[in-house]
């Protein structure tokens, strides 16, 4: 099943900024599909974190920001905190597969 490609892991010291990339194709991110990001804390279900146009559900701090360009998207976490240590997934609509997820990125706070 086609997936969006993410780096397996990123890390950063508290207070620093980290970025996670999400690479797709013309049938998903490149087709104009919005990209969503989910955060999965250890032992919990994923939760919607942010959309590609930087819309955040209530309770999500504005330290999280998203962007998209061409067939790729990215999630940035500024002022990294210990509570941000989690797995992060991107997701988009795909013209062929309907819905696709990223491979997932583990964020470690050093």
Partner 1 sequence: VQLVESGGDLIQPGGSLRLSCSASGFSFSSYSMNWVRQTPGKGLEWISQISGDSRTRRHAASLKGRFSVSRDNARKTLFLQMTRLSAEDTGLYYCAREDFDDYPNASDFWGPGTQVTVAS
- Footprint on this chain of partner 1 (rule: CB under 8 A): 1, 3, 33-34, 36, 38, 44-48, 51, 55, 57, 89, 91-93, 96-104
Query: CB of residue 74 vs partner 1: minimum separation in angstroms?
Result: 17
Q: Please give the C-alpha separations between residue 47 and each of 26, 56, 74, 80, in angstroms, as whole numbers.
A: 26, 11, 17, 18
Nearer to partner 1, 36 or 77 (CB): 36
Query: Rounded distance, CA 27 to CA 100, Å?
Result: 10
Nearer to partner 1, 48 or 76 (CB): 48
Nearer to partner 1, 79 or 95 (CB): 95
Query: CB of residue 58 vs partner 1: minimum separation in angstroms?
Result: 10
Nearest one of 11, 25, 31, 4 to 100, comparing CA atoms: 4
Question: Do residues 44 and 19 make contact, with C-beta atoms less than 8 angstroms apart?
Answer: no
Query: CB of residue 47 vs partner 1: minimum separation in angstroms?
Result: 7
Query: CB of residue 102 vs partner 1: minimum separation in angstroms?
Result: 8
Nearest one of 40, 32, 75 to 54, comparing CA atoms: 75
Nearer to partner 1, 16 or 55 (CB): 55
């Amino acid at each position: 099943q086609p997936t969006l490609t993410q780096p397996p892991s990123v890390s950063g010291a508290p207070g620093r900024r980290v970025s996670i990339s999400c690479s797709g194709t013309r049938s998903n991110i490149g087709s104009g599909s919005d990209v969503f990001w989910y955060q999965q804390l250890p032992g919990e279900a994923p939760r919607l974190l942010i959309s590609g146009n930087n819309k955040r559900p209530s309770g999500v701090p504005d330290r999280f920001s998203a962007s998209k360009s061409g067939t790729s998207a990215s999630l940035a976490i500024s002022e990294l905190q210990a509570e941000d240590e989690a797995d992060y997934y991107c997701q988009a609509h795909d013209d062929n597969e309907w819905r696709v997820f990223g491979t997932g990125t583990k964020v470690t706070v050093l």
